[in-house]
Amino acid sequence: MGAPSVDSQVAGRAASGAGSLARTAEAGPARVLVVEDDPGIATQLVRGLTRAGYAASSVATGSAALLAPSHDAVLLDLGLPDIDGVDVCKRLRDTSDVAIIVVTARGEESDRVLALDQGADDCLVKPFGLEEVLARVRAVLRRTRPSAGELLRYGALTVDLRTRKVTVGGREVALTPKEFDILECLATDPGRVVTRSEIFERAWDAHWYGPTKVLDVHLAALRKKLGELVTIETVYGRGFRLADLK
């Protein structure tokens, strides 16, 4: 069971694209508890989840997990030193509706089935990469918190991914579908430089062969609508980003 379980090489990419579901509507970042007795794995998971915008922490035992304050999601290793992981899963489920993703080593399929029977929402098999963890967390939060996590906030800007409503300083701004898609690219990971081709892939489709000047036209309109409270910077030769908050 000694296989390294988190691919640290992908940790640096964790932040991109994960912002949307890392935030809940009212309560700030979604809280994720890692229950894992291997300190190396726990540290990497907490670091990766934190980079992706979650409020992540870890405990090393089942009893600590049962005593931990409430969370939005729990990543629960089934092989724990004190209490059987399936038991922990059952007891968490008996007392809360937290999203539970159980983690098992390869070959522990029966435990996995038991845990799913006890109310786990999903499972991960070691070894796994961080991107997979983040995708599973996003997916369970989308299912268990359908109203949460769809709101991006950055300074005066809010972008509601579900209703596609955008406000700046509390004032609603009407955007065209393309303008919204461009803004979503930028607001998903504020501050990161998004390249022209990334925007084309997401807002148009992967095989846009038309003039790329069309992007500049939409960007100009978008900048004008957002006004002075939200600045889209051009990073010459690289792309665009939302300017740092002042």
Distances in Å between the Cα of 147 and the Cα atoms of 23, 27, 141, 210 are 11, 12, 10, 37
Q: Which residues pair with 74 in a beta bridge?
A: 33, 100
Q: Are 59 and 147 in contact (CB under 8 A)?
A: no
Residue 79 found at the interface with Ca ion (CB under 5 A): yes
Minimum CB separation of residue 187 from Ca ion in Å reads 37
Nearest-approach distance from CB 143 to Ca ion, in angstroms: 26
Contact 30, 148 (CB under 8 A): yes
What spatial distance separates the first Cα and last Cα of the chain, rounded to whole Å?
Answer: 48
For Ca ion, the binding residues in 37-66 under the rule CB under 5 A are 37
Name the minimum Å distance from CB 124 to Ca ion: 13
Using rule CB under 5 A, residue 77 touches Ca ion: yes
CB of 105 to Ca ion, least distance (A): 8
Is residue 129 at the binding interface for Ca ion, with CB under 5 A as the rule? no
Comparing CB distances to Ca ion, the nearer of 86 and 203 is 86
Complex with Ca ion: residue 7 or 233, whichever CB lies closer: 7
Stretch that binds Ca ion, among 18-26, 58-66, 73-81, 199-207 (CB under 5 A): 73-81
**Residue 53, both tokens:** 């915008």
Which of the stretches 29-37, 148-156, 181-189, 225-233 binds Ca ion when contact is defined by CB under 5 A?
29-37
Q: How many CB atoms lie within 10 A of CB 3?
A: 9
**Spatial CB neighbours of 67, under 8 Å, sequence gap ≥ 6:** none
The token pair that represents 19 in the structure block? 């912002």
Structure tokens at 210: 């038309």
Residues 114, 87 contacting (CB under 8 angstroms): no
C-beta of 2 vs 211, nearer to Ca ion = 2
Q: Which residue is nearest to Ca ion (CB)?
A: 79
Smallest separation, CB 69 to Ca ion (Å): 22
Candidate ranges 40-48, 72-80, 150-158, 163-171; the one touching Ca ion (CB under 5 A): 72-80
Phi, psi torsion values for 223, nearest 5 degrees: -60, -45
Contact residues for Ca ion, defined by CB under 5 A: 37, 77, 79
